Structure 1
Amino acid sequence: MVTPAASSSRSIDVLIVGAGAAGMMCAVEAARRGRSVLIVDHARNPGEKIRISGGGRCNFTNLGTTAANFLGENPRFATSALKRFTQHDFIKRVDRAGIAWHEKTLGQLFCDDSAKQIVRMLTDDMRNAGAVLKMGTGVDRVARYGDGFEAALSDGAVVRCASLVLATGGKSIPKMGATGWAYDTARQFGLRVTETRPALVPLTFEPGLLEKLASLSGLSVEAEITHRASSSAERGRPNGQTVFKEGLLFTHRGLSGPSILQISSYWREGEAITAALAPGADVYARLKAAKEENGKQMLHTALGHIVPRRLAESIAEREGVKGKLAEIGDKTLRRLDEAVNAWTVKPVGSEGYRTAEVTLGGVATDQLDQQTMAATPVPGLFVIGEAVDITGWLGGYNFQWAWSSGWAAGQSC
Structure 2
Amino acid sequence: MSAKLIKQTHFDAIIIGGGACGLMCAVQAGFLGKQTLILEKNDKVGAKILISGGGRCNYTNLYASHQQFISENEHFVKSAFAQWTVDDTISFFETYGITGKEKTLGQLFPQSDKARDVVKVFTDLCHDLGQQIQCNADVKQVEQTAEGFKIVYESYGEEAELTAPRVVIASGGLPIAKMGATDFGLRTARKFNLNIVNTAPALVPLTITGKDQPWYEQLSGNSIFCRVWNDRASFDENILFTHWGLSGPAILQISSYWRPGEFIYIDLLPDQDITQLIQEERTVNGKKMLLNFLTTFYTRKFVEALSNHLPVEKNLASLSKTDLESIHNLIHNFKVKPAGDKGYDKAEVMRGGVSTEELYSKTLEVKKIPGLFFGGECVDVTGWLGGYNFQWAWASGFVIAQNI
Q: TM (normalized to structure 2)?
A: 0.96
Moved over 6 A (4+): none
Q: Does 1:173 align with 2:164?
A: no
User: Which residue of the other structure, out of 379, 387, 390, is the alignment partner of 1:388?
Assistant: 379
CA deviation map 1:210-259 (0-9, x unaligned): 1123221100111101111xxxxxxxxxxxx3110011111111111111
- Residue in 1 aligned with 2:304? 313
Superposition pairs of residues 3-402 of structure 1, within 5 angstroms:
3=2, 6-8=5-7, 10-113=9-112, 114-155=114-155, 156-228=159-231, 241-319=232-310, 321-402=312-393
Conservation of the 8 A alpha-carbon contact between 1:288 and 1:333: no
Conservation of the 8 A alpha-carbon contact between 2:217 and 2:243: yes
Conservation of the 8 A alpha-carbon contact between 1:283 and 1:306: no
Aligned CA distance change for structure 1 residues 337 and 316 (closer, same or farther; 3 Å): farther
CA distance, structure 1, for counterparts of residue 315 and residue 106 of structure 2? 45
Local SS of the residue matching 1:75: coil
Range with bigger deviation, 113-122 or 279-288: 279-288
Q: CA RMSD of the aligned region, Å?
A: 1.4
Range with bigger deviation, 293-302 or 396-405: 293-302
CA distance, structure 2, for counterparts of residue 261 and residue 140 of structure 1? 33
Conservation of the 8 A alpha-carbon contact between 1:374 and 1:383: yes
Local SS of the residue matching 1:73: coil
Q: Residue 55 of structure 1: CA displacement?
A: 1.6
Conservation of the 8 A alpha-carbon contact between 1:364 and 1:389: yes
Aligned amino acid, residue 35 of structure 2: S
Q: Residue 13 of structure 1: CA displacement?
A: 1.9
Q: Residue 104 of structure 1: CA displacement?
A: 0.8
CA deviation map 1:156-193 (0-9, x unaligned): 22100100110011001111110111000011011111
Conservation of the 8 A alpha-carbon contact between 1:152 and 1:159: yes
Q: Residue 291 of structure 1: CA displacement?
A: 2.7
Conservation of the 8 A alpha-carbon contact between 1:277 and 1:307: no
Range with bigger deviation, 376-385 or 333-342: 333-342
CA distance, structure 2, for counterparts of residue 160 and residue 322 of structure 1? 75
Conservation of the 8 A alpha-carbon contact between 1:372 and 1:409: yes
Q: Residue 328 of structure 1: CA displacement?
A: 2.2
Conservation of the 8 A alpha-carbon contact between 2:217 and 2:245: no
Q: Residue 5 of structure 1: CA displacement?
A: 5.7
Percent identity of equivalent pairs: 40
Conservation of the 8 A alpha-carbon contact between 2:311 and 2:323: no
Conservation of the 8 A alpha-carbon contact between 1:5 and 1:133: no
CA distance, structure 2, for counterparts of residue 302 and residue 210 of structure 1? 26
Conservation of the 8 A alpha-carbon contact between 2:176 and 2:344: yes
Which stretches in structure 2 are left out of the alignment for 5+ residues?
Answer: none
Q: Residue 3 of structure 1: CA displacement?
A: 4.5
Q: Does 1:405 align with 2:396?
A: yes
Conservation of the 8 A alpha-carbon contact between 2:377 and 2:393: yes
Aligned amino acid, residue 182 of structure 1: G
Q: Residue 308 of structure 1: CA displacement?
A: 2.6
Aligned amino acid, residue 220 of structure 2: S
CA distance, structure 1, for counterparts of residue 97 and residue 343 of structure 2? 37
Conservation of the 8 A alpha-carbon contact between 1:151 and 1:158: yes
CA deviation map 1:327-383 (0-9, x unaligned): 321320221121111101111111010100000001000110111110011111000
Conservation of the 8 A alpha-carbon contact between 2:61 and 2:86: yes
Q: Residue 106 of structure 1: CA displacement?
A: 1.1
Local SS of the residue matching 2:12: strand
CA distance, structure 1, for counterparts of residue 124 and residue 325 of structure 2? 61
Range with bigger deviation, 203-212 or 309-318: 309-318
Q: TM (normalized to structure 1)?
A: 0.94
Conservation of the 8 A alpha-carbon contact between 2:147 and 2:165: yes
Range with bigger deviation, 122-131 or 303-312: 303-312
CA distance, structure 2, for counterparts of residue 146 and residue 134 of structure 1? 25
Conservation of the 8 A alpha-carbon contact between 1:9 and 1:158: no
CA distance, structure 2, for counterparts of residue 390 and residue 4 of structure 1? 34
CA distance, structure 1, for counterparts of residue 88 and residue 99 of structure 2? 16
Conservation of the 8 A alpha-carbon contact between 2:141 and 2:188: no
CA distance, structure 1, for counterparts of residue 26 and residue 87 of structure 2? 20
CA distance, structure 1, for counterparts of residue 34 and residue 206 of structure 2? 45
